[in-house]
Chains A and B, each alone.
Chain A
Amino acid sequence: MALLEVRDLSVTFRRKGERPTIAVDGISFNVEPGQTVGLVGESGCGKSVTSLAIMGLLPSRGVEVGGSVTFEGEELLGRSQRQLDERRGRDLGMVFQDPLSSLNPVVPIGLQITEVLERHRKLSRKKATVEAAELLNRVGIPDPNRRLDEYPHQLSGGMRQRALIAIALACRPRLLIADEPTTALDVTIQAQILSLLSELVSTTDTALIMITHDLGVVAGMCDEVNVMYGGRIVERAQRHALFAESRHPYTHGLLASIPRLDAPRGEKLVPIRGSVVDNIPWSDGCAFAPRCPNSVEQCWHAAPGLVSDGAGMLRCHNPVQAVTTVAEGA
């Protein structure tokens, strides 16, 4: 049994007098213990909403969540906040994008770690403080005992993110969701944080859902990658397969828009035309069709289904041929 099973998860935002916005439109994926799964896509494709829905952190009013999310066979959707609070922080951890705003500015780092330890592992303040210093040490923060008494603004950006990871991993959750954990950091710090994350999850056998728009991050970390577009998964592949032979024109476009050091001189970057449109109607056809270089007549009338394609899954009427290289395909 998978650790986390997401089945037909859908999230709809409803506002009075406006058309409902479908942010997530029936996505399904599994996460096995110790596995790292990527959710990749542009801003607005529904990745963050997916993670909030799994954690039960979406507001209760104006949001409709459908489908099912089971963690160790136990349904999470429809649980009360009180019940979810027992799981959150203990079994499910989360690391957010911006480490400064995700830490309480008026509470010292140490207290923000011990708070979780006292809450879920019922440690005394004294024991929790010892444990907190140990955690900070493990995430590579030097002189942890001094840092415990410092406030978030006294730490550097990289250290803040390390502290956030320490907080998220304090109770050794079995699943960690990292929502763009490196976006707000310098490139050098990004690499450190990513290697720290992958080291921690592999030594503790924690499963990781990595949410990112950065294919470089995916290349380094994920075992399986789900590419999302318009609230649906458009391609699923094992890491190496995705980079070697991506089939969906969207994935292809994402790869083509990354600068490559080994590209021949003078080769232009190929951006994907247009931008993500809110409330894309998958019902009338493929949501990516307006921006797709490969679109055919059929794309405008019928939404493609997610079909198994060898080791992965693909949602496309006219996929890129497996043999074409990135430059020719775009």
Chain B
Amino acid sequence: MSRATKIDQLAGVAGRRDLDSDPDRAEDAGVSLAASAWRRLRRSPTFWVGAIVIGLFVLLAVIAPFIAPHDPALRMLESQVSRASNQLPPPQEGHPLGGDQYGRDLFSRVLLGSQQTLLVALLATVIGLGGGLVLGTLAGAFGGWVDSVVMRAVDVLLSIPSLLLAVSIGALFAQQTQFSVILAVAIVQIPIFARLLRGTMLSVRESDHVLAARALGVKRREIVFRHILPNSLGPVIVQSTLVLAMAILDAAALSFLGLGAADDSTPEWGQMLGNAQEFFDSQPHLAFWPAGCIVAVALGFTLVGESMREALDPRQRR
């Protein structure tokens, strides 16, 4: 199944709000969509596992500067590095994970890496979401040729595998910085959000309350921004949590491929993983810690996203 169809299906599920007026679900009438979604979310162990994982990493990112034992950029164990014999500083007193190939404290770098990784994921998602909202609203509100133009452009972007697209965009920048990574990851997400929002808006546009608003002569601008858009955001919100996970992986992949920030004094997990590559035979723990963190935090966001999608699915509402 192509990504485009998958996104449309997701939009269809969330757009089926009219099920709410089904008389069989009358007992549900006193509970809003958000309230009933939260009620089901609360009972989902998947959600709690994901939320706790994310919570721990966010906490870690906040307190990392205070608990990190050493300056992550300081080459304090450089004397123990021997490039010739592939020797790196082993775990020792004061350096529980040893040092990297420049003799920097690995433990401190893993701790502080959480900041960059979460920041990149968050910014990339916010930018992707913003761009997607603008394009999706344009297409969903105007329809007609605007819709066709926007959607064909989106289709073109969607037809390129996301990582390949991110790599190409990342490579366009003359100077690789953290910002170029953020932008590359964000642009990949824009078409996904745009298509999702547009699909939901099209189905909300046909709903009774929009017809009722039109029958009252409400202006088009208000129909779009007060009556259609707020009712179309559910699937987009769910998608954002899933995109956070994808953004972490994409950003790590870009850094791994050498398209991350050129200056590696600020630790970032993807980049640490890339650097650890050449010592994988002798020092596998160098790769293990950043990789494990990436997997754990991405899994956390995926679990929360999936459980939110289930909770917001109107077919499961009861």
Binding site for B on A (CB under 8 A): 55, 57, 81, 84-90, 92-94, 96, 98, 100-107, 115-116, 119-120, 151, 153-154, 157, 164, 167-168
Segment touching A, from B25-33, B130-138, B195-203: B25-33
A153 contacts B31, C-beta separation under 8 Å: yes
- Please name 10 pairs of A and B residues whose Cβ atoms are closer than 8 Å in the assembled complex, sorted by A: A87-B217, A89-B215, A92-B215, A103-B209, A104-B227, A105-B231, A120-B217, A153-B30, A153-B32, A164-B212
Q: Is B17 an interface residue (CB 8 A)?
A: yes
**Complex: how many Å from CA A105 to CA B317?**
16
**Complex: how many Å from CA A57 to CA B231?**
21
Which of A96, A115, A153 is B218 in contact with, Cβ under 8 Å? A115
Closest to B210 in A: A104
Per-residue CB contact flags for chain B residues 33-45 toward chain A (1 = under 8 Å, else 0) read 1000000000000
Q: How large is the interface on B (under 10, 10 to 19, 20 to 34, 35 or more residues)?
A: 20 to 34
Q: Is B213 an interface residue (CB 8 A)?
A: yes
A105 contacts B17, C-beta separation under 8 Å: yes
Closest to B26 in A: A157
**Complex: how many Å from CA A168 to CA B208?**
15
Q: Is B207 an interface residue (CB 8 A)?
A: yes
Which of A55, A103, A154 is B215 in contact with, Cβ under 8 Å? A55
Known: A96-B212, A101-B207, A119-B218. A106 touches B230 (CB 8 A): yes
**Complex: how many Å from CA A90 to CA B215?**
10
Residue among B30, B31, B208 with the highest chain A CB neighbour number at 10 A: B208
**Complex: how many Å from CA A119 to CA B218?**
7
Query: With a CB–CB cut-off of 8 A, which chain A residues contact B230?
Result: 106-107
Given A85-B219, A119-B219; 8 other pairs, CB 8 A cutoff:
A85-B217, A86-B217, A88-B216, A101-B21, A101-B209, A104-B213, A104-B231, A105-B32
A151 contacts B32, C-beta separation under 8 Å: yes
B217 contacts A102, C-beta separation under 8 Å: no
B32 to chain A, nearest CB (A): 5
Q: For chain B residues 1-56, which have a beta carbon within 8 Å of chain A?
A: 17-18, 20-21, 29-33
Query: With a CB–CB cut-off of 8 A, which chain A residues contact B18?
Result: 101
Q: Is B318 an interface residue (CB 8 A)?
A: no
Binding site for A on B (CB under 8 A): 17-18, 20-21, 29-33, 207-209, 211-220, 222, 226-227, 230-231
A104 to chain B, nearest CB (A): 5
Total contacts A-B at CB 8 Å: 86
Query: With a CB–CB cut-off of 8 A, which chain A residues contact B226?
Result: 104, 107, 115
Which of A88, A98, A115, A151 is B222 in contact with, Cβ under 8 Å? A115
B212 contacts A84, C-beta separation under 8 Å: no
**Complex: how many Å from CA A88 to CA B231?**
23
Residue among B32, B212, B220 with the highest chain A CB neighbour number at 10 A: B212
Closest to B29 in A: A153
Which of B207, B216, B219 is A167 in contact with, Cβ under 8 Å? B216
B27 to chain A, nearest CB (A): 12
B209 contacts A89, C-beta separation under 8 Å: no
B215 contacts A88, C-beta separation under 8 Å: yes
B208 contacts A96, C-beta separation under 8 Å: yes
**Complex: how many Å from CA A119 to CA B30?**
30
B21 to chain A, nearest CB (A): 4
A89 contacts B218, C-beta separation under 8 Å: yes
A314 to chain B, nearest CB (A): 33
**Complex: how many Å from CA A104 to CA B227?**
6
Query: With a CB–CB cut-off of 8 A, which chain B residues contact A84?
Result: 217
A116 contacts B216, C-beta separation under 8 Å: yes
Query: With a CB–CB cut-off of 8 A, which chain B residues contact A115?
Result: 216, 218, 222, 226
Query: With a CB–CB cut-off of 8 A, which chain A residues contact B21?
Result: 98, 100-101
* A-B pairs, 8 with minimum CB distance: A89-B217, A89-B216, A88-B217, A101-B208, A94-B215, A85-B217, A102-B212, A101-B21
Which of B29, B31, B208, B218 is A102 in contact with, Cβ under 8 Å? B208
A158 to chain B, nearest CB (A): 12
Closest to B33 in A: A105
**Complex: how many Å from CA A102 to CA B226?**
14
B218 contacts A116, C-beta separation under 8 Å: yes
**Complex: how many Å from CA A105 to CA B232?**
11
Closest to A177 in B: B215
Query: With a CB–CB cut-off of 8 A, which chain B residues contact A55?
Result: 215
**Complex: how many Å from CA A63 to CA B2?**
34
Query: With a CB–CB cut-off of 8 A, which chain B residues contact A88?
Result: 214-217
**Complex: how many Å from CA A104 to CA B33?**
13
Query: With a CB–CB cut-off of 8 A, which chain A residues contact B215?
Result: 55, 57, 88-89, 92-94, 96
A119 to chain B, nearest CB (A): 6
Which of B29, B33, B211, B213 is A100 in contact with, Cβ under 8 Å? B29
Query: With a CB–CB cut-off of 8 A, which chain A residues contact B217?
Result: 84-90, 116, 119-120
**Complex: how many Å from CA A167 to CA B212?**
10
Closest to A100 in B: B21
**Complex: how many Å from CA A104 to CA B230?**
10
**Complex: how many Å from CA A116 to CA B226?**
13
**Complex: how many Å from CA A105 to CA B21?**
11
